[in-house]
Amino acid sequence: MAAMGDERAALRAALLYEQPRTVNRGRMEIVEAQLVGVLERGIVGAVVELGCFRGAMTAWMRAVIDAHDSRRPDKEVHTFDAFEGLPPPGPYDSGYLRTGEFTGAVGDVLVLHDRFGLARPHIHAGWLADTLPHGLPERIAFAYLDADRYDSTLTGLKACVPRLAPGAVLVLDDYADPCAVPGGEITAQPKAPGVLAACREYFGEARLPRVVSTAAAGSLGLGLHRADDVNLPRPGRAPGQPRTDREEPAR
Ligand SMILES: C[S@@+](CC[C@H](N)C(=O)[O-])C[C@H]1O[C@@H](n2cnc3c(N)ncnc32)[C@H](O)[C@@H]1O
């Protein structure tokens, strides 16, 4: 991977400094590595984010796309959020993240993109259940789901997974606690247990997304689903063997 340009390094530094609650080095490395993989494999379709808050990861994904191939402005980024903060927790969620937490604004997303000279994304403001049916692109190459709640995640999976192009990747934030993986079972990220519960409901136990982490991600385990994995048994994993990929940090 090419060395990081000054503009992207400046964006990363600003996001780490200004939005540390929702982005960290680990998250950014994992998203970058997976998104670059999709771009290198030439997977068709849009890049989408469900739950953008103030647009930190939306901007990072745009910057990663531009750095990989500036001739691909056609690789559109669609980002979704109610901009009213988190909805109330349901039975599968914890109370750790409060109702209304992470209230951002469309203007935050636009200002961030303008500040770093990034093309503005398509912003779909409203609850996912209302915006996804008409706003979601027909074909998705890369999806980042970061909506924290069970209902929101399940709504997102039902909308996005059928639209993933062959070879597309879907990354779930706050999916698992990687510290618990050595025992073999995937354990929920305590702050947002509804994310794993929604994946169990949607994918079933046998096809659960894998856990991805990096040293920089700390106790954070993201979920990784590859579109062409859906109907295939996972090769080379003995029963009880943990489903964890440790990615090399992106450079
Ligand atoms: C943790 S924040 C996202 C952080 C963001 N990905 C970033 O990079 O900074 C979770 C977001 O999900 C949004 N959200 C959760 N459930 C939603 C739903 N059902 N419809 C729309 N937005 C939702 C919240 O408004 C909140 O902004």
| Ligand 1 pocket, Cβ-based, cut-off 6 angstroms | 19, 22-23, 51-54, 56-57, 81-82, 85-87, 102, 104, 127-128, 146-149, 152
Task: Determine the Cα–Cα distance for residues 251 and 62; give it in Å rounded to an integer.
Answer: 17
What's the half-sphere exposure (Cβ side, CA atoms, 13 Å) at 153? 29
Global confidence as pTM: 0.89
Residue 201 φ/ψ, nearest 5 degrees: -65, -45
Chain centre to alpha carbon of residue 189: 15
Q: Which two tokens stand for residue 84?
A: 């009213």
Instruction: Give the domain 6-246 fold.
Output: Rossmann fold (3.40.50)
Tokens 């794993």 sit on residue:
196
pLDDT in tens, the chain (251 residues): 446 788 899 999 999 999 998 999 999 999 999 999 999 999 999 999 999 999 999 999 999 999 987 656 668 999 999 999 999 999 999 989 999 999 999 999 999 999 999 999 999 999 999 999 999 999 999 999 999 999 999 999 999 999 999 999 999 999 998 776 555 688 898 899 999 999 999 999 989 999 988 777 667 789 999 998 444 444 344 334 444 433 333 32
- Give 214 Cα–ligand 1 centroid separation in angstroms: 23
Choice from 24, 61, 102 to test ligand 1 binding pocket (greatest atom count within 8 A of CB): 102
Where do the structural domains in the chain lie, given as residue ranges? Answer: 6-246
Helix count (H) and strand count (E) of the chain?
7, 8
| Secondary structure of residue 222 in the 3-state scheme | strand
Instruction: Tell the residue number behind the tokens 């964890």, with chain if given.
Output: 244
- Tokens at 85, concatenated: 């903060």
